[in-house]
């Protein structure tokens, strides 16, 4: 497999999948969110989180607050952070009323809570957050590069600039979030992005990294031929 500079974090909320991925040394951490948890059928937040923490050991894992009120977010964040030294608390960049979470992020980070600011999509947001996080606890800024790409905008220039904006801060890491294809891992590695979060469907493609294209072409031809034969097609 092609060597990557970027750390791979598995993104999901299925405990059996998390358990299986823990055996893979290429997986350096884990992330979750309420949408993935709901999709996985999680009904008891704390029970899920504590089970996940037992599985991942000392690898970092992110759990997200779910209140839409900034003061309630703070209480939830401190509760989540208390569940383990390796917990990063996901704080949305704003609430649903567009109220920035900057002050909350600053208070949490400067008081020792490991924060993962999520749903970031603009450089203005990155610049503000870097100021809030600089000098605080280890933290992440999750830039949703895949969603940016979904709008027809190339996220690469933004990701490069984001890395420049945080400069040499030793405590802040940029996450390439919501990748859409395996190529995104290579792109993230080439620009020196610290972390990329990857879902199970893309993780399944990791063995393809660096694959010889002539051999891959032949395998594709064999697949088409085998499927046609298996279907019993005749002309």
Q: How far apart are CA 126 and CA 20, in angstroms?
A: 34
Enzyme catalytic residues: 90
* Secondary structure of residue 96 in the 3-state scheme: coil
* Secondary structure of residue 106 in the 3-state scheme: helix
Element holding 11 (H helix, E strand): strand 7-11
Q: Where are the alpha helices (DSSP H) in the chain?
A: 15-21, 34-39, 45-56, 70-81, 102-110, 123-133, 145-150, 156-166, 183-190, 200-203, 213-231
Q: How far apart are CA 142 and CA 29, in angstroms?
A: 14
Residues 6+ positions from 118 with CB-CB distance below 8 Å: 33, 64, 90, 91, 92, 93, 142, 144, 177
Q: How far apart are CA 95 and CA 111, in angstroms?
A: 21
């Amino acid at each position: 497999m092609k060597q990557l500079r970027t750390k791979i974090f598995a993104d999901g909320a299925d405990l059996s999948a998390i358990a299986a991925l823990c055996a893979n040394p290429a997986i350096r951490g884990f992330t979750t969110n309420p949408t993935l948890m709901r999709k996985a059928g999680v009904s008891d937040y704390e029970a899920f989180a504590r089970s996940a923490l037992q599985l991942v050991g000392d690898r970092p894992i992110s759990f997200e607050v779910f209140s839409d009120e900034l003061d309630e977010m703070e209480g939830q964040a401190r509760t989540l952070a208390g569940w383990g030294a390796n917990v990063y608390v996901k704080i949305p960049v704003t609430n649903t009323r567009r109220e920035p979470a900057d002050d909350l992020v600053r208070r949490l980070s400067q008081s020792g809570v490991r924060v993962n600011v999520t749903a970031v999509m603009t450089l203005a947001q990155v610049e503000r957050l870097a100021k809030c996080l600089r000098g605080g606890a280890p933290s992440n800024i999750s830039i949703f590069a895949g969603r940016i790409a979904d709008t027809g905008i190339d996220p690469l220039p933004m990701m490069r600039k984001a890395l420049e904006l945080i400069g040499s801060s030793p405590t802040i890491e940029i996450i390439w979030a919501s990748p859409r294809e395996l190529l995104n891992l290579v792109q993230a590695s080439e620009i020196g992005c610290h972390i990329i979060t990857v879902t199970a469907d893309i993780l399944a493609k990791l063995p393809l990294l660096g694959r010889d294209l002539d051999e891959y072409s032949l395998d594709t031809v064999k697949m088409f031929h085998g499927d046609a034969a298996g279907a019993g097609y005749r002309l």
